Amino acid sequence: MKKYLIIMILTAILTTTACGKKVGTNDSESSSRTETSAAVSTTTGTAATSASTAATAVTTKGATEKASNNPPADVILTAVDTVEVFEDMTIAEFITETNTEIQDADKLIDASELGEKKVKVKFTYGGKLYEKELKYNVVDTTEPVLLNSGWEPYAIADQPFDLNSIVGFVDNYDRSPTLTYEGVVDTSMIGSYPITATVTDSSGNSTSWDMTVLVLTEKPQPQDNNTRVSFSDFMSYYCYDNVSYGIDVSAWQTNVDYNAVKSEGCEFVIMRMGYCYDQIKMDDYYLQNMENATAAGLDVGVYFYTTANTEEKVREQARWILEQLDGRSLDYPIAFDWESWGQFQQYGMNIHDLNELFEIFCEEIEKGGYTAMLYSSKNFLNNFWENKNNRPVWLAHYVDETDYDGLFAIWQASAYGRIAGIEGDVDMNIRINDIPLN
């Protein structure tokens, strides 16, 4: 019997030496939530010694401790019942009440699709490591976003009425929400027809608005009553500290005299490199603009106009941009210009999709050693774009003083500028020099 006990003791010593250190813990703070919680029931094993042995039986260097699936009955592990789709919720935020030490607290739970999900939560309690599978539901409680409530609410007489061609909308999750309306639009008679339009997503969330459709024999020509502003007056009006003044151009400005532009006080130009509807095309004046603006000593940047709705298209366009630059130095980031909002639903995307495409564009551009920035108006920056990695923003807002409360590096403050060296209108911009471009 004594010999048997000595063997047992030696075995225990050898086992303890082989085990090494326990798995480290994560002390990240958890933020509490007030959602209705469901207490997760736990069970305890009948042989605590066996569970302890199983949890610490590590025999190879660097191996991690095996988690037990049978935590003690007094463990508290309470989690939220529901998570909003695409919500960035960490394990620490998911767990609302616990008397344990949560592992992998900063790890995000899966909220990419609607429905019931499961997540395995690891935690330590009483010096031992455990794992428990918790259930939750991913839900969508967000109503669709109205992008165009009917900027040009015209229907042509004696032609079928199609509300879908007049308005634009998008949902946070549903790629094809349903558009309906109440009221009558009789295209056999010239007149105005009030209707109430509604967009409903697959989860039953809806957005409604009133509008008046005008049935006409032909669409009216837009009236241009905008006041033109000289570049010198523009600089005087926005006489701020630590800013630079510039323009952005495309083929619409045709042959630009950049020496004359610079003599007016312009310091930078952002030019359209290309655009893509069905296929990639270089701006007819890009090469000329780049050569002449650089020769005149202006700082330069480029933008690309796109209607891409797939990852493949975005990567292709970003790589094309890099090929054209061929290592050329730029003073400004490469701007991603997506602004086809009029009938956005035709692209079969949700809000998350296009935000992901912007991130993919940035990723490809950064592979080439450049930085990217987001061009958009105040309305869409507030209601659409997430810009989750805080890329530089080029804000378009044509007002005397912008009230956009987000961070922006460049402000396109006017589309009706006049400057020596350019025939016709040109966009005028202010660069806030304190805001980094990377």
Mean pLDDT of 137-156: 96
Query: Both 69 and 104 in a single domain?
Result: yes
DSSP 316-374: HHHHHHHHHHTT---SSPEEEE----TTGGGG---HHHHHHHHHHHHHHHHHTT--EEE
Residue 64: predicted pLDDT: 53
Helices (H) and strands (E) in the chain, counts: 9, 23
pLDDT of 36 over the 70 cut: no
Span 130-145, pLDDT tens digits: 999 999 999 999 999 9
State the Cα–Cα distance between residues 176 and 164, nearest whole angstrom. 12
pLDDT of 22 over the 50 cut: no
What is the pLDDT confidence band of residue 67, given thresholds at 50, 70 and 90? confident
Give domain status of residue 5, yes or no. no
Identify the burial level of 310 via C-beta atoms within 10 angstroms of its C-beta, where 0-12 means exposed, 13-18 middle and 19 or more buried: middle
Mean pLDDT of 323-331: 97
Closest CA to 121 of 13, 110, 113, 112: 110
Q: Is the pTM of this model over 0.95?
A: no
The overall average pLDDT reported for the chain is 87
Which amino acid type is present at position 49? T
| 12 vs 150 pLDDT, higher one | 150
Mean pLDDT of 375-385: 95
Q: How many independent structural domains does the chain possess?
A: 3
Can you give the CATH number for the domain in which 259 is found? 3.20.20.80
| 260 vs 44 pLDDT, higher one | 260
Domain that holds residue 356: 229-432
Mean pLDDT of 56-71: 57
Query: Both 384 and 400 in a single domain?
Result: yes
The percentage of the chain sitting over the pLDDT mark of 90, rounded to a whole number, equals: 83
pLDDT of 6 over the 80 cut: no
Give domain status of residue 363, yes or no. yes
Query: Both 321 and 424 in a single domain?
Result: yes
| 265 vs 14 pLDDT, higher one | 265
